């Protein structure tokens, strides 16, 4: 995140210095971890993994920073071209079959830019990575889900537009919230059970990773994505 620079501080009067720095009298502390490596990753003490994940072609630069899974962000400068460039994310591994789960929920709180092309989404995988469930909570710009429309459904307290597709490596089930949100709680288990029991698109899959982050297509000039809260609860 960009921070103000105080030039020639020693030459400024004390009152002017106080006005410039306001309440931030103490120096800003560096994040516990940061990386500009395309595959940079960090495991927190409570078992979450942060991942820079610059995987698309034609990508620009991107730096991820983190203090925890609930306090992290990304500064990304990707060109204004099509195609997903990255998916910086935090993840928790569940490793439980759907039938053995009594609850799977997550909370999130983000600050996202008003320009660029991206979606803020959960990316949920089965343990052998042949099924992928994406839950879009907000999006901006020229982005869209893979596959064809399967209608609209209300699950877990939200209404979703549903798409089903295949990227050649795995099936993808995308759920796009009909109203964008920067914060909230997602009841994930009803979505997984709907795919299994109502639609029959998969069996009693073991849920592996529950990821949450920003699927960025373009962010020319540099944009900041900030996670102010995130957590996964499974039982």
Show the domain range for 199.
Answer: 32-234
- Domain assignment present for 116: yes
- Domain assignment present for 24: no
The percent of residues in the chain predicted with pLDDT above 90, rounded, is 86
Please determine, for residue 28, whether its predicted confidence score (pLDDT) is greater than 80: no
- Domain assignment present for 44: yes
pLDDT at 125: 98
pLDDT at 22: 30
- Domain assignment present for 158: yes
- Domain assignment present for 14: no
- Looking at per-residue pLDDT, the higher value among 22 and 78 belongs to 78
CA dist 44 and 235 (Å) reads 21
54 torsion bin: left (phi>0), alpha (psi -120 to 50), beta (else):
beta
Instruction: Convert the pLDDT of each residue in 175-227 to its tens digit.
Output: 999 999 999 999 999 999 999 999 999 999 999 999 999 999 999 999 999 99
CA dist 88 and 185 (Å) reads 20
Spacing of C-alpha 78 from chain mean position: 17
| CB distance 74 to 88 below 8 Å | yes
Task: Output the average pLDDT for the chain.
Answer: 90
Q: Which residue has the tokens 């020693």?
A: 10
Please determine, for residue 124, whether its predicted confidence score (pLDDT) is greater than 80: yes
At residue 30 the predicted structure's pLDDT band, cuts being 50, 70 and 90, is confident
Average pLDDT over residues 69-94: 98
- Domain assignment present for 108: yes
Please determine, for residue 145, whether its predicted confidence score (pLDDT) is greater than 50: yes
pLDDT at 47: 97
- Domain assignment present for 96: yes
- Domain assignment present for 205: yes
Write the CATH number for 180. Answer: 2.60.120.180
Domain count of the fold of the chain:
1
């Amino acid at each position: 995140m960009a921070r103000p620079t105080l030039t020639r501080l020693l030459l400024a009067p004390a009152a002017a210095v106080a006005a410039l720095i306001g309440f931030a009298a103490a120096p800003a502390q560096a994040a516990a971890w940061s990386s500009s490596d395309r595959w940079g990753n960090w495991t927190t003490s409570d078992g979450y993994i942060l991942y820079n994940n610059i995987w698309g072609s034609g990508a620009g630069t991107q730096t991820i920073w983190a203090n925890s899974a609930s306090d992290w962000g990304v500064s990304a400068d990707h060109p204004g071209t099509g195609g997903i460039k990255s998916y910086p994310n935090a993840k928790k591994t569940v490793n439980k079959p759907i039938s053995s789960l009594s609850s799977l929920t997550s909370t999130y709180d983000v600050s996202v830019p008003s320009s660029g092309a991206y979606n803020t989404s959960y990316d949920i995988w089965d343990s052998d990575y042949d099924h992928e469930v994406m839950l879009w909570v907000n999006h901006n710009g020229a982005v869209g889900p893979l596959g064809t429309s399967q209608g609209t459904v209300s699950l877990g307290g939200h209404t979703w537009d549903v798409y089903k597709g295949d990227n050649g490596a795995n099936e993808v089930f995308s759920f796009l919230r009909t109203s964008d949100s920067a914060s909230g709680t997602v009841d994930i288990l009803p979505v997984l059970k709907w795919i299994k029991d109502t639609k029959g698109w998969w069996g009693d899959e073991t849920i592996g990773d529950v990821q949450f982050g920003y699927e960025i297509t373009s962010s020319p000039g540099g944009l900041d994505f900030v996670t102010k809260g995130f957590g996964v609860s499974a039982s």
